[in-house]
Amino acid sequence: MRDFQLPGRSAVYARNGICATSHPLAAEAAVSILKQGGNAVDAAIAGAVLLGLAEPQMTGIGGDCFALISPAPGAEVVAVNGSGRAPKAAQAADLRARGLSTVPLYGPEAVTLPGAVDAFCTMSDRWGKLGLADSLAPAIAYMEEGVPVAPRVAFDWQADHGVLQGAARRHFLHDGRVPRVGDIFRLPGQAEVLRRIARDGRAGFYEGEVAEDMLATLQALGGLHEAEDFAATRCTIGAPISGQYQGRTLLEHAPNGQGVTAILLLNILRRFDIAALDPFGAERAHLEAEAAKLAYDARNRFLADADHMTKLDRLLSDDLADQLAALIDPKRAMAAPAELSEAVHKDTIYITVVDRDRMAVSLIYSIFHGFGSGIASEKFGILFQNRGAGFTLAEGHPNEMRGGARPMHTIIPAMLADGGRVTMPFGVMGGQYQPNGHARVMSNLTDFGMDPQSALDAPRSFATADGLELERGYRPEVRAALAEMGHDLREPASPIGGAQAILIHDSGVLEGASDPRKDGCAIGY
């Protein structure tokens, strides 16, 4: 239990349903769908799509999503991969011939096909109860009426708005000015798009006038996208991958997502007695940083589109974890792994919903960098992701850019299971940080017995190519000890990630937790 004399927030307890996400209006919209008789899938779609307006720098219908769905207690968990592919004509060789070593972040080359809309349509059709029109209704209303800009959103908007170009400046600025806290922000063009999706399903987005608007914008900038690329966009339905940590099961999305990185990181940490350490001390931060360097290096070498990846079993193996753990000096920091040949991974939103029947949804949804590619369609204002910058241009690499491939993706929803039963859908935002965040939350819960809200509140550290980032929550003596071990310490420019979780107690009571690093909250009924 938290100290009520110190700043903090209480978990939210409810019986009938809970949504936890990074903006309160989205959480409320999701819960309103539950009260209408919708299920967790209906509610998660409602909240997620609204976040494209409430947090436009993070997500939108021009982006991708991944979801884990537990249809009922004890049922097999389903993994929905709503990540888009590169245009058929895209080839790394063409970019290398232009003298490029990485995919340009803010050009049409980085724009992969938006996959989220097809995933939402598929989820609604297969597992929803109310139908897509009801799920999209809250977002349509808010897109027309507008929402007040929240504090963290305003902070990010100010930091990221410089990438906006062309029509995007008209759609995402107020007469060239960054919206301030409390300003009303609207996206009426996207309201019209959502009405068409509600009426016509995926065809309202991937065909007809909306698709033509997206195509015209991208092709005018030199994009290789064709109508056939949009029409062919389909999500993939499969099974999650899993790993064990101290007797508990972590469910993650299979590649092209980086969930395997979180499992590998925990497999390395299992080789050490983490529970015997101070949860906020130097020794734990050091071991986590060293394990993360090794796990992320493996990710960078091998992770790719499932069609081009051959090392998944190796990344999940105890043998690899043993080998990597043996490289860690408990007293001395190693050099950072090799520099990435693809863009550093950035921003996203996460939403989780559990309903009265205990269907659980863990969903993550993103346009990659702040405001994605910075390019928006002329008429409808659909902001395009720059996920194509997650490809490498290195010849022969499994994650090499190629036509029709999916890039290595950072957004990863997760679920915790105990005894074969899903007990906690959760996710950690923060792009690159996400596998490290999953491992830290798992360790906070399991090694240190924290409740979900405390596990999210706890200070974070993250080993990057530039040094070890430490949030201000770490004590001065811990910083000094880490510096003595050889870590190059950095204070992050913004909080490290965000997170949400819903714990499903054996009693049936739901416990929702939401990260104070964002504007959001958990809401239940």
Amino acid at position 370, single letter:
G
Query: What pLDDT does 342 receive?
Result: 55
Query: What pLDDT does 1 receive?
Result: 65
Please choose, from the candidates 193, 408, 201, 422, the residue with its C-alpha nearest in 3D space to the C-alpha of residue 298: 408
Query: What pLDDT does 309 receive?
Result: 87
Provide the 10 A C-beta neighbour count for residue 178: 17
Any residues with CB less than 8 A from the CB of 317 and at least 6 apart, and which? none
Query: What pLDDT does 344 receive?
Result: 52
Query: What pLDDT does 317 receive?
Result: 94
Separation CA 413–CA 117 (nearest Å) = 17
Catalytic pick among 348, 392, 423, 464:
348
Please choose, from the candidates 455, 491, 457, 456, the residue with its C-alpha nearest in 3D space to the C-alpha of residue 471: 491
**Secondary-structure percent of the chain, ordered helix, strand, coil, rounded to 5:** 40, 20, 40
Query: What pLDDT does 340 receive?
Result: 53
348 is catalytic: yes
Amino acid at position 394, single letter:
A
Query: What pLDDT does 8 receive?
Result: 80
Separation CA 57–CA 74 (nearest Å) = 37
Using DSSP bridges, classify how beta strands 489-490 and 467-470 pair: parallel, antiparallel or unpaired: parallel
Please choose, from the candidates 218, 226, 206, 257, the residue with its C-alpha nearest in 3D space to the C-alpha of residue 106: 218
Q: Tell me which DSSP letter residue 383 carries.
A: B
Please choose, from the candidates 254, 219, 214, the residue with its C-alpha nearest in 3D space to the C-alpha of residue 238: 254
Query: What pLDDT does 343 receive?
Result: 58
Assign residue 70 a region (left: φ > 0; alpha: ψ between -120 and 50; beta: otherwise): beta
Cα 78 to chain centroid distance, Å, stands at: 17
Cα 124 to chain centroid distance, Å, stands at: 20
CA dihedral 31→32→34→38, nearest 10 degrees, is: -140
**SS in 3 state form for 309-372?**
CCCHHHHCCHHHHHHHHCCCECCECCCCCCCCCCCCCCEEEEEEEECCCCCEEEEEEEEECCCC
Q: Is the pTM of this model over 0.85?
A: yes
Q: What is the largest CA-CA distance in the chain?
A: 62
Domains of the chain (ranges, CATH numbers): 260-343+436-524 (3.60.20)
3-state secondary structure of 81: strand
Per-residue pLDDT of the chain (525 residues; tens, 9 = 90+): 677 887 788 999 999 999 999 999 999 999 999 999 999 999 999 999 999 999 999 999 999 999 999 999 999 999 999 999 999 999 999 999 999 999 999 999 999 999 999 999 999 999 999 999 999 999 999 999 999 999 999 999 999 999 999 999 999 999 999 999 999 999 999 999 999 999 999 999 999 999 999 999 999 999 999 999 999 999 999 999 999 999 999 999 999 999 999 999 999 999 999 999 999 999 999 999 999 999 999 998 899 999 888 889 999 999 999 999 999 999 999 987 655 555 554 568 999 999 999 999 999 999 999 999 999 999 999 999 999 999 999 999 999 999 999 999 989 999 999 999 999 999 999 878 999 999 999 999 999 999 999 999 999 999 998 899 999 999 999 999 999 999 999 999 889 999 999 999 999 999 999 999 998 899 999
